[in-house]
Amino acid sequence: MARYIAGRLLQAVVTLLGVVTIIFFLVRLSGDPARLLAPQNATATDIARIRHQLGLDTSLWSQYVHFLSQALRGNFGYSYVQDQPAMHIVLSRFPNTVELAVGALVVALGIGIPAGILSAVYRGRWPERTLMPLILVGQSMPAFWSGILLILVFSVRFHLFPSSGQGGLRALVLPAITLGSLSLATIARMARGSFLEQLDRDYVRTARAKGASGMRVMFGHVLRNALLPVLTITGLEAANLLGGAVLTEVIFAWPGVGQLTVQSVNSRDFPVVQAVVLLAAIVYVAVNLLVDLLYGVVDPRLRLTGAAP
C-alpha cells in the first residue's frame, strides 16, 4: 500500500506540473493585461511601463521559469487588479465554494442514492418509471437554465428563497439544488446500475433461499458491495462540484471561486487565474487519492492487494 500511495503522489506531482504549465501559456493567449489596466489616454510608453512593472516584458520562457521558481516557494504572484497575493485571494473565496459544493453534494446524495435504490428494487414498476424520467430530465437541463427557472418560481413568484447572494441556509437552497442536479442524476444512475448488478448475484439468491428478509439482504449483503462504484463516482462528483461551480455562482451572485474565475479571466488577471486552476487541480488529485484509500475501508479485501481497482 505504501508503494501504491507513493506512486499516486508522484503522479499527482506530474499532473499538477502539467496543469500549471498548460494554464500558464493558455492565459497569455487571451491578450495583454497592461492595455486593460492602462487609462484610456495612455501612451505606448505608459503601456510599456505597466508591462514592465507586471514582468510581462520578458520572454514567455523567462516568465515561466520565474513563475515556477516562485511557486515552489509558495509565492504565486500578486493580482494585477487587487494588488494582493493571488493565492490569498483565491483561498479567501474557497470556503464559500466549499459551502456551496457541500450543499450540492448533500442534495445529490440525499436524493440520488435513495432514488437509485428504489429504481433497482422496483425495476419495471411505477417507482422506476416515475423516478428515472425525472432523473434524466435533471441531467439534461443545463445549470444556467435550471437556475433561472428556480429563481423565477421560488424567488420571483413565491418569494420563498433569495434570488442571489450568500447568507444563511435559505440563500444556499436554490444554488445547491441547481449545482447538485447534474450530480444527482449521475449518482442515481450509478446507484441503480450497481444495485441491479448485485441483486442478480448468486449470493443474493442464496440469502433469499435461506429465508433472509429483503431488508437484511439489502443492507446486510448488497449495500456494501454496491457502494464501491457509487463511492468512486461520488468522489469524482465532489471534485467536479468544487471546481465546476462557475455558472451557478455567476447566476446566483455567489461570492466563490467560480465567480472570481470569471472576473479574473475578463480582467486578464493571470496570477489569480493560475492560482484558481492550481487549487482546482490539487482538489481533484486529493479527492481521487482519498477515494482510492477509502476503497480499503469499504471492502477490506482490497487492503490485502495493496491497490485499489
Could you read off the pLDDT of 159-190 as tens digits, one per residue?
899 988 888 888 999 999 998 888 888 888 88
Average per-residue pLDDT in the chain? 82
**Distance (Å, whole) CA 184 – CA 176:** 11
Asked if the model's pLDDT at residue 132 lies above 90, the reply is no
Instruction: Please give the share of the chain, as a percent, with pLDDT higher than 70.
Output: 90
DSSP state of 256: S
Higher pLDDT, 222 or 58: 58
Beta carbons of 187 and 195 less than 8 angstroms apart: no
Beta carbons of 258 and 245 less than 8 angstroms apart: yes
Beta bridge partners of 78: 85
pLDDT band at 300 (very low <50, low <70, confident <90, very high): low
- Write phi, then psi, for 85 (nearest 5 degrees): -55, 130
Q: What's at 131, amino acid-wise?
A: L
What pLDDT score does 297 carry? 60
Could you read off the pLDDT of 1-19 as tens digits, one per residue?
677 677 777 888 888 888 8
Could you read off the pLDDT of 183-227 as tens digits, one per residue?
888 888 888 888 888 877 877 777 777 776 666 777 666 777 787
**Distance (Å, whole) CA 168 – CA 87:** 26
Mean pLDDT, range 123-141, rounded to an integer: 82
Mean pLDDT, range 77-93, rounded to an integer: 90
The cell numbers describing 224, all together, are 456494501
Could you read off the pLDDT of 274-287 as tens digits, one per residue?
898 888 888 888 87
Place of cell 439544488: 177
Domain annotation for the chain: domains and CATH numbers: 2-71 (no CATH), 90-305 (1.10.3720.10)
